[in-house]
Structure 1
Amino acid sequence: MVKKTYTEKLNNSGDLPKTEFIGFDNSMAKRFGCGNMLIAAPIEYDEVMKRIPKGRIITSNEIRAYLAKKHDADFTCHLTAGIFINLAANASQESQNSESGEITPYWRTLKKGGELNPKYPGGIEHQRMLLEMEGHIVINKGKRYFVKDYERALYELQ
C-alpha cells in the first residue's frame, strides 16, 4: 500500500466540512463548549493561510473564528484545526521540495498567543528564520518562542 503524500491528504476532504451539535451532555462539551461545532475541510485552512501577505501574521484562533463564521457555526474543532494547519504546512514544504505547486506561507500562521509551532517543517528554528526575514522579532519565554507584539502584525480576514 502506497502512503499518501501530504498534498493528497490536504486535497482529500471526504465529507468535510460538516457541523456537529455538541450538547451539555456530550463528553466534548467541557473541552470545546456547547453549540454547533464546525469540522472544516483541510483545504480551507490552506486557502486561508495562503492569503496572509508578507510581513503579516495570523493565529490559528483567528482562522478558526473566520471559518466558524463562514459556515455559520458557533466554533470549530480545535483538534482538527491543529492537524489540518500542520498538514497544510507539510504539503507546502512537500511542494517546495519537489519544486511543484503553490507554496503556502505556513510560517505566518502562529499558535494561540503568537507562539511559534514546533511541529512545522524544520521546527522552531526554521519558522523563526522565515519570520525574522520578514521583519518580525521572535522572543524566547522559557522553552517556547513567540513573535514579539504579534497583535500589531495580525492580518484581518475579510
Structure 2
Amino acid sequence: MTDAPQPESSEPAHDPEVLELAQKVFDLARHGETDTLAAYVDAGVPANLTNDKGDSLLMLAAYHGHPGAVRALLERGADPDRTNDRGQSPLAGAVFKGEDEVVEALLGAGADPRAGTPSAVETAQMFGKEELVRRLTA
C-alpha cells in the first residue's frame, strides 16, 4: 500500500468571514442601504458580485425597488444586463415588480429591454403593461 495523497475536494474552500461579508453586502442591496453598499463597492467589493443563484447586487436592489442603490451600483460599473442563473435581467425584475423609478434608472444606464428570458418587454406584455411595452420598444 502506498501513502498517496488523497485527491482534494472539487469544492472550493470558503472562508466563513468572506461568506459572512458577502451575505452582508447582498443584504445591503436587498434592503436598499445605498451609502453603506456604495462604500463596500468603493472599498473593493465587485459591483457585479453574484450570489449562489446568480443574482447580482444590482438584481437584488432592482427587484426589491431601491432606485438609489441601483443608481449607485450602476455608477460603480454594475452591468445593467447581467442575467441571473434563470436568465432574468434586473430590468425584467423591476418591470415584474412594478418599480417604475428603478426601470427608469436602468434604462438611463443603457439596459437592454430585450435582454434575458423573459425579457423586460416580454414581462411587460405578459402583465398587460401596454404603456411600458411602448416605452421599452420606442
Please say whether Structure 1 and Structure 2 have the same fold, judged by a TM-score greater than 0.5: no
Larger Cα Rg: Structure 1 or Structure 2?
A: 2
Instruction: Compare the two structures and name the one with the higher helix fraction.
Output: 2
Instruction: Compare the two structures and name the one with the higher strand fraction.
Output: 1
TM norm structure 2: 0.39
Structure with higher RCO (Cα < 8 A, 6+ apart): 1
